[in-house]
């Protein structure tokens, strides 16, 4: 990827070929490109990368840039963590890129860290409880919790799973080996894809620390 250009300008880079109308047209094209990229869900910095690369060069995006600029898009992947006020405290949250699932970290008066996962689920509340009863437990950011730490409740008129995470370690988030999969079942049971959430690590330790200091 590189700048858009005019052939005449390439062959005669120092020639006076552009007037005020041309300059206005160039700005109009830039505006159209930024608007198009934004509408496609890509970070507008994509256009900036092109603008800073000369026509004689070619910028090839790294895997990190592809993710950071949302050039590649995986619906199930979760976005970086953020915080927002809720009740008398603060909650940390991360949504899947298609906005269909959400992870919310918070604590109540008992100060126990909690994680709430909202759907959509393929099962109703009763079916989810039966499935949880058959789990060996759950793993959150590389830390294991027994199935007794899980409960099912309604959130926004839909089933949700809440994980009570006593002795949860914020320091373990960044060192967790499960970088791609933050929440998954463990134990002697068959892998169940519905419990596989690719919750982002980005911003997690800081956002969760704030939420767990400001219980709702």
Tens of pLDDT, residues 180-209:
445 556 554 444 556 677 788 889 999 999
**Predicted local distance difference test score (pLDDT) of residue 192:** 53
pLDDT score for 75: 79
Predicted local confidence at residue 188, as pLDDT:
44
More confident residue, 75 or 110: 110
Within-domain flag for 52: yes
Specify whether 86 is located in the same domain as 62: no
Q: Residues 114, 23: one domain?
A: no
Task: Indicate the helix (H) or strand (E) that contains 186.
Answer: strand 183-186
CATH number for the domain spanning 198: value is 2.60.40
In the chain, % helix, strand, coil (3-state, to 5) comes to: 30, 25, 45
Tell me how crowded residue 69 is: count the other CB atoms within 10 A of its CB: 17
State whether 143 and 203 are in the same domain. Answer: yes
Neighbouring residues of 124: CB distance < 8 A, sequence distance ≥ 6: 159
Same domain, 64 and 166: no
Q: Give 195 or 119, the one with higher predicted confidence.
A: 119
Neighbours of 180 (CB within 10 A): 12
**With a threshold of 0.85, does the pTM exceed it?**
no
Higher pLDDT, 142 or 90: 90
Domain stop point among 36, 68, 100 = 68
β-strand 102-107 against 113-118: which pairing, if any? antiparallel
Assess whether 34 and 96 both reside in one domain: no
Shared-domain flag, residues 90 and 192? yes
Do 116 and 86 share a domain, yes or no? yes
Our count of domains for the chain comes to 2
In 10 A of CB 7, how many CB atoms?
8
Structural domain harbouring 11: 7-68
Same-domain pairing of 56 and 119: no
pLDDT of residue 180: 41
Domain co-membership, 94 together with 64: no
């Amino acid at each position: 990827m590189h700048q858009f250009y005019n052939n005449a300008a390439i062959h005669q880079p120092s020639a006076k070929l552009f007037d005020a109308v041309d300059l206005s047209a160039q700005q109009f094209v830039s505006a159209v490109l930024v608007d198009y990229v934004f509408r496609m869900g890509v970070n507008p910095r994509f256009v900036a990368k092109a603008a800073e690369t000369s026509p004689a060069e070619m910028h090839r995006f790294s895997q990190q840039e592809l993710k950071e600029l949302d050039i590649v898009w995986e619906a199930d992947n979760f976005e970086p963590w953020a915080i927002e006020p809720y009740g008398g405290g603060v909650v940390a949250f991360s949504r899947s890129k298609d906005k269909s699932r959400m992870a919310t970290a918070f604590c109540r008066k008992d100060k126990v860290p909690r994680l709430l996962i909202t759907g959509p689920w393929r099962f109703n509340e009763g079916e989810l409880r039966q499935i949880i009863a058959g789990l060996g437990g759950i793993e959150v950011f590389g830390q294991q919790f027994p199935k007794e730490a899980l409960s099912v409740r309604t959130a926004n008129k839909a089933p949700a799973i809440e994980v009570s995470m006593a002795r949860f370690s914020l320091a373990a988030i960044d060192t967790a080996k499960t970088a791609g999969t933050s929440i998954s079942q463990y134990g002697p049971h068959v892998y169940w894809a519905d419990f596989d959430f690719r919750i982002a690590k980005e911003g997690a330790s800081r956002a969760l620390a704030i939420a767990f200091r400001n219980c709702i």
